[in-house]
């Protein structure tokens, strides 16, 4: 059952590309059908995971493991493993894919088959990176992920001036991701060679490789720092964040933006899965530095968001500050903050992606992202302003939503470690409130300025947004159902003691 999650979008993309010959509307239908199929499969897997007796008789189909021998000499297996954490991440990916396809459904692109092929390949590679336990295939999926993003931004990118101008930002992104991936490859090969020099076996399986660490060598430190560095570039932390805002700024008119934003969550996943279980003493050495970096991320993101006048820039800088909170909670090493982390990842991605989708709707009104040329939308539209208000409120942690509980748990965990710094750190909430309310005020209040068309959300789009709201409130009111028979700390902090 697991490989279908990778195979369906892959072949769906190819079919949508070939269906472009017959009509322009077929590719998006194919993309939508394949995404809905994946959603159903994911639901079945969730049900199977929660209630084990439900599909007991068909256990072969609903197995959590899957592996095929790929290269026998080097010990590379195409092995997939699915636990609750990766199921949640896949669930979010599929939701975002659904959002991006429905919000770009009514637009006409130049080469629709290629467009949907890129989106589906991106989804399949992200899901593959969440599922694979073999380091070779994890790297492979990370590497494939770069290209659809580049092509989406280059060919369907939203830049009125020229393609040449757009290419500069893609160059920035491409070089950053290449550097990070080649460092990752280097450290993976170092790890494999290190294991071979001790035990005489070639494997790329991470479950076997992580037993080799003694935490006394220089070589082990090199491997660990390589992993850390590459993942820090992947989640745009502060010194390496420059590709992120412009990449989102010039992304296509529909809503595949949030998929690009979701690339950062792959970095978070990599840190949790592949860095923390093997980093023993190093984690305590770099803890202070990483927490400091996270705090810098939060304040820098909030500061830049309050300065900028561009809507997309503001949203992306708020996203960077969210990543700062996530980094802070990862390196806290508390049970409380780890539980908050999972809630925070899920709810913040849902809320921020919904805001991105709505901001694209606003763009269609005014034809700019510039806040100075907007104003007075509140009277004109029924659905968009209300939804926008809800998601901005949940983005800075309104009580009752999932973000609030995640943030509170993270702050309590942080308080147990450094009480004085965390007391100072709560000021950041005010920054969030300031910049997001300022943005809201600029767009929806004041005098009505000239705009082109008059329209609102579709029926399907409203349904999807309502579903997102429902999820956020569900997590906010009943956070315990996520942790049903699931201990987050046991999975990652095995060796840390």
Partner 1 sequence: MLYIFKKYMELFPFIIIMFSISFGMFLIIFKRNNLAMLLNSVLGILSTIFYLLFFKDKLLFKNNFFFHFDKFSVFFSLLILFTILITSIFVYFYLDEKKLYIEEYYILLLLFLLGSISLSFSKHISVFFISIEIITLSTVALIYFFNNHKNTVEASLKYMIFSSFSSAFILFGFGIIYFITGKLEYENLYLIINQLEIYKKISIFIGISIILLSVFFKMSLFPFHFIFPDIYQVSTPLYLICFSTVNKLSFFSFLIYLFSSTSILNTNFFYNLVQIFSLLSIFFGNLLALFQKNVNRLLGYTSISQIGCLMITVLSLNRFTFSLENMFFYFLNYVICNICLFGAMTILKKGYIYREIDNKFFKKNIFSNMFYTYPLLSISLFIVFFSLSGMPLTIGFINKIYILSYSIYNNFWILTLSIIISSIFGTYIYFKIIISFYNEISDVKMNRVRFSFIENILEFFIFIFSITLILYNFFLFYRLFFEKFFNKILFY
Range 57-76, binding partner 1 (CB under 8 A): 68-74
> Residue 125 or residue 401: which is nearer to partner 1 going by CB?
125
Q: Which of 14, 29, 41, 189 binds partner 1 (CB under 8 A)?
A: 189
- Spell out the alpha helix ranges (H) of 51-162: 84-103, 112-131, 135-155
Cβ at position 75, least distance to partner 1 in Å: 12
Question: How close are the terminal C-alpha atoms of the chain, in Å?
Answer: 36
Rounded Cα distance between 197 and 209, Å, is 12
Return the number of the residue (188 or 323) whose C-beta is nearest partner 1: 188
**Min CB(82)–partner 1 separation in Å:** 21
Phi/psi of residue 273, each to 5°?
-80, -45
Q: Which is nearer to partner 1, 155 or 440 (CB)?
A: 155
The CA R_g of the chain, rounded to the nearest whole Å, is 22
Which 8-state DSSP code applies to residue 70? Answer: E
Listed ranges 52-60, 96-104, 149-157, 261-269: which one lies at the site for partner 1 (CB under 8 A): 149-157
Total of residues contacting partner 1 (CB under 8 A): 33
143 scored as a contact of partner 1 (CB under 8 A): yes
Bridge partners of 134? 205
The separation between CA 340 and the C-alpha centre of its own chain, rounded to angstroms, equals 17
Q: Is 229 in the site for partner 1 (CB under 8 A)?
A: no
With 0-12 CB in 10 A as exposed, 13-18 as middle and 19+ as buried, what is 484? Answer: exposed
**DSSP per-residue string spanning 202-268:** ---BHHHHGGG--S--HHHHHHHHHHHHHHHHHTT-GGG-THHHHHHHTSBSSS-HHHHHHHHHHHH
- 192 belongs to the binding site for partner 1 (CB under 8 A): yes
- What token pair was written down for 162? 């020229």
Crossing angle for the helix pair 112-131 and 84-103, nearest 10 degrees?
Answer: 170
Could you say which residues in the range 404-423 bind partner 1, by CB under 8 A? none
Distance CA 21, CA 113 (A): 9
139 belongs to the binding site for partner 1 (CB under 8 A): yes
Which of 164, 379, 453, 485 is in the footprint of partner 1 by CB under 8 A? Answer: 164
User: Segment contacting partner 1 (CB under 8 A): 146-154, 380-388, 420-428, 451-459?
Assistant: 146-154
Contacting partner 1 (CB under 8 A), which of 182, 307, 430, 448?
Answer: 182
For 80-100, what is the HEC assignment? EECCHHHHHHHHHHHHHHHHH
Q: Which CB sits closer to partner 1, 196 or 210?
A: 196
Q: Report the distance separating Cα 22 and Cα 1, nearest Å.
A: 32
Report, in Å, the least distance between residue 68 CB and partner 1: 6
- Assess 140 for contact with partner 1 (CB under 8 A): yes
Residue 167 or 363 having the CB closest to partner 1: 167
Specify the residue, 191 or 343, whose C-beta has the smaller distance to partner 1. Answer: 191
Closest to partner 1 by CB, 123 or 283: 123
Per-residue exposure over 59-81, b if at least 16 CB sit within 10 Å of its own CB, e if not: eeebeeeeeeeeeeeebbbbbbb
Distance separating alpha carbons of residues 460 and 357, to the nearest angstrom: 13
With a CB cutoff of 8 Å and minimum separation 6, the contacts of 54 are 47, 48
Q: Is 127 in the site for partner 1 (CB under 8 A)?
A: no
Complex with partner 1: residue 172 or 335, whichever CB lies closer: 172
The reply to whether 169 sits near partner 1 by the rule CB under 8 A is no
CB of 204 to partner 1, least distance (A): 10
- Choice from 63, 178, 199, 211 touching partner 1 (CB under 8 A): 178
Q: Does 307 bind partner 1 (CB under 8 A)?
A: no
Sole window of 95-103, 147-155, 284-292, 372-380 interacting with partner 1 (rule: CB under 8 A): 147-155
**Binding of partner 1 by 186 (CB under 8 A):** yes
Which tokens is 27 given?
Answer: 């590719």
Q: Tell me if 167 contacts partner 1 by CB under 8 A.
A: yes
Closer to partner 1 by Cβ: residue 117 or 232: 117
Instruction: Evaluate whether 107 touches 362 at the Cβ level (below 8 Å).
Output: no
- Shortest Å, Cβ 312 to partner 1: 23
Q: Largest alpha-carbon pair distance within the chain?
A: 73
Residues of this chain that bind partner 1 (CB under 8 A):
68-74, 136, 139-140, 143-144, 147, 150, 154-155, 163-164, 167, 171, 174-175, 178-179, 182-183, 185-186, 189-190, 192-193, 196
């Amino acid at each position: 059952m697991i490989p279908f999650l990778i195979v369906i979008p892959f072949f769906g993309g190819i079919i949508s590309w070939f269906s472009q010959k017959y009509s322009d509307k077929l590719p998006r239908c194919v993309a939508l059908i394949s995404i809905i199929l994946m959603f159903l499969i994911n639901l079945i897997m969730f049900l199977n995971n929660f209630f084990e007796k439900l599909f007991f008789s068909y256990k072969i189909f609903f197995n959590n493991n899957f592996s095929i021998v790929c290269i026998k000499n080097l010990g590379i297996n195409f092995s997939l493993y699915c636990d609750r954490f990766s199921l949640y991440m896949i669930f979010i990916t599929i939701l975002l894919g659904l959002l991006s396809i429905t919000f770009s459904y009514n637009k006409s692109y130049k080469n629709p088959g290629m467009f949907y092929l890129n989106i589906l390949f991106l989804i399949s590679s992200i899901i593959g990176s969440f599922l694979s336990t073999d380091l070779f295939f994890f790297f492979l999926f990370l590497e494939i992920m770069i290209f659809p993003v580049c092509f989406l931004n280059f060919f369907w990118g939203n830049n009125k001036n020229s393609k040449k101008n757009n290419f500069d930002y893609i160059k920035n992104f491409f070089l950053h991701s290449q550097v990070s991936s080649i460092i990752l490859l280097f450290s993976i090969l170092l790890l494999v060679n290190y294991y071979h020099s001790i035990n005489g076996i070639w494997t790329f399986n991470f479950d076997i490789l992580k037993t080799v660490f003694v935490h006394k060598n220089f070589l082990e430190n090199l491997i660990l720092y390589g992993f850390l560095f590459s993942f820090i570039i992947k989640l745009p932390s502060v010194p390496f964040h420059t590709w992120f805002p412009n990449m989102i700024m010039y992304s296509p008119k529909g809503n595949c933006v949030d998929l690009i934003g979701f690339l950062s969550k792959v970095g978070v996943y990599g840190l949790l899965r592949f860095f923390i279980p093997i980093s023993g003493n190093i984690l305590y050495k770099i803890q202070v530095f990483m927490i400091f970096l996270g705090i810098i991320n939060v304040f820098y993101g909030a500061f830049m968001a309050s300065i900028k006048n561009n809507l997309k820039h503001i949203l992306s800088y708020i996203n960077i500050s969210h990543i700062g909170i996530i980094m802070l909670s990862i390196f806290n090493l508390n049970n409380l903050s780890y539980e908050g982390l999972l809630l925070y990842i899920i709810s913040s991605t849902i809320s921020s992606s919904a805001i991105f989708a709505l901001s694209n709707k606003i763009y269609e009104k005014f034809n700019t992202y510039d806040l100075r040329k907007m104003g007075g939308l509140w009277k004109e539209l029924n659905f968009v302003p209300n939804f926008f208000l809800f998601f901005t409120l949940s983005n800075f942690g309104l009580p009752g939503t999932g973000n609030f509980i995640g943030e509170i748990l993270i702050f309590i965990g942080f308080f147990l470690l450094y009480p004085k710094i965390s007391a100072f750190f709560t000021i950041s909430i005010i920054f969030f409130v300031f910049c997001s309310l300022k943005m809201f005020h600029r767009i929806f209040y004041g005098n009505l300025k000239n705009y082109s068309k008059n329209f609102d959300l579709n029926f399907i789009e409203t349904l999807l947004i309502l579903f997102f709201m429902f999820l956020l409130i569900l997590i906010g009111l009943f956070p315990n159902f996520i942790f049903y028979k699931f201990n987050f700390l046991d999975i990652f902090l095995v060796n840390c003691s």
